[in-house]
Structure 1
Amino acid sequence: MSQTPNINADGEHRKGLIAGLAAYTWWGLFPVYFVLTKAVPALEILSHRVLWSVPFCFLILLMRQQLPALWTALRDTKTVLYLGIAAVFLSINWGVYIWAVQNEQIFQGSLGYYINPLLYVLVGVVFFGERMSRLQTLAIVLALLGVTVLTVYGGVFPWISLILGVTFTSYGVFKKQVNIGAMPGLQIETLVLFIPAAALMFYISQTEGLGFTNVSREIDFLLLLAGPVTVLPLLAFSFAARRIKLSTLGFLQYVGPTLQFGCGLYFGETFTPAHAICFILIWTGVAIFAWDSWRKRPLPTP
C-alpha cells in the first residue's frame, strides 16, 4: 500500500530550510554591516550590539510567550553561571570579528568559521573522550597544514582565525551544558554583558568620544539596528533547528563563511598565493569532514 505524503511535514521542512538559509546568509553578510559602520570604533559597536539586543530580545520573548522559560532559567544558578561564561567567549568573538572586518581581515574571519566545526571535533576528543574517524583526522590535518602554510609561506600568523574559532567553539561547549532555548539563552547572555557594555560605552564617551550621534544620522540609524541585526538571525536559526535535520543544518553552516569570503573579495582585500593554498587545504578538509558527517547520518525509518 502506498503511503500518503505528509504535506504538513514537507511544508515545515521547507520553512525550516528557508529559515536556516536566511540565518546563515545574514551571518555571511555581516561584514557589509561592519564596513558601513567603520567610522565607529569596534568596541563601541560591540557595546551597541549588547545594549540594543537586551530590549529587542525581551520583546521577542514577550511575543513568543517565552518569558516563563526566562524566569525559570534565571533562578537556576548553574544555568546562569554557564551562560555567563559563554557570554564572555561570545563577547570576545564579536569584538575580534568586528575589529577584523574594520581592519581588512575578512578572509581571516571567514577562515575562523570554516575551522570551527573541526575544532568541535578536537574538543570532543580532548575533553569528552570521543574518537575521531580517519576522515575526520585527515580533515583536521589538512586544516593545520593550511594554517601552517599561511603562517610560514605567507608570513601571517592567523591569530584572528584561531581566536574566532576557539572562542565560538568554547561558547558552544558551555551552551551545551544547559538545557535552554536559543532566545532565553541569548537574553541571559546579553543581560550578563549589559553592565560591562554600558560601562565601556560610558568610558568611550568620556575619552575618545562616541560615534553615536556624532558622525551622521545614517550611522546612528545603523547602530540602533545593532539589536535586530544580532537577534533576528538567531531567531531564524532557532526556527530552522526545530524543523530540519541536524545534518542539513550542519551543511548550511558553511554558507556563512563562504559569503564572508566573497565579501572579502568584493571589498578588495589582498589575496596572496599563501591565502589561496591555505583556503584550498581548508576547503578540502571541510569537504571531507562534511562528507564523513553525511555518510554517518541516521537513515530514515522505512
Structure 2
Amino acid sequence: MSESVKGSLAMLFACVVWGFSAVYYKSIDHVPPLEVLCHRSLWSLVFLLMVLAVQGRLGMLRDMLGNPRALCWIGVAALMISTNWFLFIFAVQTGRTVDSSLGYFIFPLLAVLLGAFVLGERLGTLKWVAVGLAALAVTGLTVALGAAPWISLTLAVTFAFYGLLKKQIDAGPVVSVTLEVLLISPLVLFWIWGAETQGWTAFGDQEAGAFGNSWSDSLLLMFSGVLTGGPLILMSYASKRISLATLGLLTYVNPTLQFVVAVALFGEVITPAHMVAFPIIWVALALYSAVSFAEERSARKASRNSAAVPTI
C-alpha cells in the first residue's frame, strides 16, 4: 500500500469519526453542554500528553511555553476552537445538527476568503464564483428563515479563523492543540469543580455534576479525549502523505455524515430553505474542489517539466 493511500485512508477514517461523533454527543445530552466541553478539553489534554510522552516530544511543549508570541496566538486559537467545540455540542443537544453540518460546509469557502483578504492569496474567477454561490445560499437561507443561521455561521467563522491562527504557530497539530487545551485547563478545572460541587450549568437545564454519578457517564466523558485527539493524530499523519487538495476534499465527508445523521438518525426536519441552500453550497464546493485539483495538477506538471530541463 502506497503512502498516499495510507494517508487518504487515515484522513477518511478521521472524517468518519468526526461525522459520527454527533451520535456520541447525543448519547450524553443529559449533561450540560459547557460541562461536556470542559471534560472534552480535560481528557483530550490527558490523552495528548500521553501521546507526546510516548513519542518523546514533551520537550516541545516546554520550548513553546517559553515563546510569548507563540503563546499569544495559541491562546486566541484556544478561544476559537473552544467556541467551535461548544457550539457543535450545543447544536447536537438542541436538535440542530443540520445547522452544524451547514457550518462545516461553509467553512472551506470562508477560509478561502480569509486567505484572499488576510494572507493576500490570489483567487481565480471560478473560485470567486464558488464563494459567491455560498454567499448567495446563506443570504437566501437568512431571508427565508427570517434570521441568520447563527450556529452555522459561527461554526464556520471560528473554524476558519482557527485555521488562520494555526498558520502563525510554528508547531505540529498535536503539539499546538495540546498547548491550547493546556492554556485553558485552569478555567476547565474551575468549571468542573463548580459543576460537581455547586451545580453550575450556565447553558441548558440538565442536572450538573455528571462525572462520578455513573460508570457509563464517567467513561463516556473520559472517552471524549480519545474522540478529540485520535482523529487529530490521523489528520497529522495524513497531511504528511497526501496533497492539500485531497485533504480538503476528504474533509467534506465530515459535514456530509453530520447531515445524514441529523436526518436519518435524529429525525431533524429539513426546511424548504435548507433544501435549496444545501445543493447550492454543494455545487460551490464541487466547483472549488475541481479548480483546486486542476491547479495542483498543473503545478506538479510544471515542477516535473522544470526538473527535466538539463542545466548547463
Q: Name the amino acid aligned to 1:84.
A: G
C-alpha displacement of 1:156: 4.5
Aligned to 2:310: none
Aligned 8 A contact 1:50 1:197 in 2: yes
Aligned 8 A contact 1:42 1:99 in 2: yes
Aligned 8 A contact 2:169 2:176 in 1: no
1:240 to 238, 242, 246: 238
Q: How many matched pairs? A: 292
1:219 to 213, 217, 236: 217
Counterparts of residues 253-272 of structure 1 (less than 5 Å): 253-266=251-264, 267-272=266-271
For residue 210 of structure 2, give the secondary structure of its aligned residue in structure 1.
coil
1:13 to 4, 15, 25: 4
Aligned 8 A contact 1:24 1:233 in 2: yes
Counterparts of residues 1-302 of structure 1 (less than 5 Å): 11-205=2-196, 206-208=198-200, 209-214=208-213, 216-266=214-264, 267-297=266-296, 298-300=299-301, 301=304
C-alpha displacement of 1:224: 1.3
Aligned 8 A contact 2:16 2:254 in 1: yes
Q: Which deviations, in whole Å up to 9, do the C-alpha atoms of 1:114-171 show, x marking residues without a partner?
A: 1111111111222223332111111111111111222212334210011000001111
Q: Name the amino acid aligned to 1:246.
A: L
Aligned to 1:4: none
C-alpha displacement of 1:18: 1.2
Q: Which deviations, in whole Å up to 9, do the C-alpha atoms of 1:154-199 show, x marking residues without a partner?
A: 3342100110000011111111102101111111001011011111
What is the rounded CA distance, in whole Å, between the counterparts of 1:265 and 1:62 in structure 2? Answer: 41
What is the rounded CA distance, in whole Å, between the counterparts of 2:275 and 2:212 in structure 1? Answer: 41
User: What TM-score, normalized by structure 1, do the two folds share?
Assistant: 0.93
C-alpha displacement of 1:62: 1.0
Q: Which deviations, in whole Å up to 9, do the C-alpha atoms of 1:11-44 show, x marking residues without a partner?
A: 2222211111111111111111110111111000
What is the rounded CA distance, in whole Å, between the counterparts of 2:129 and 2:173 in structure 1? Answer: 33
What is the rounded CA distance, in whole Å, between the counterparts of 2:277 and 2:245 in structure 1? Answer: 26
- Detail structure 1 runs of 4+ shifted over 4 Å in the superposition: none
What is the rounded CA distance, in whole Å, between the counterparts of 1:275 and 1:253 in structure 2? Answer: 21
Pairwise CA RMSD:
1.4
Q: 1:73 to 1:84 in 2, by over 3 A?
A: same
Q: Name the amino acid aligned to 1:85.
A: V
In structure 2, the gaps of 5 or more residues are 201-207, 306-312
Q: Name the amino acid aligned to 1:218.
A: S
Q: Which deviations, in whole Å up to 9, do the C-alpha atoms of 1:173-232 show, x marking residues without a partner?
A: 111102101111111001011011111112223034312223x43222111111111100
What is the rounded CA distance, in whole Å, between the counterparts of 2:36 and 2:236 in structure 1? Answer: 24
What is the rounded CA distance, in whole Å, between the counterparts of 1:246 and 1:141 in structure 2? Answer: 22
For residue 88 of structure 2, give the secondary structure of its aligned residue in structure 1.
helix
User: What TM-score, normalized by structure 2, do the two folds share?
Assistant: 0.90
For residue 299 of structure 1, give the secondary structure of its aligned residue in structure 2.
helix
Give the % identical residues: 39
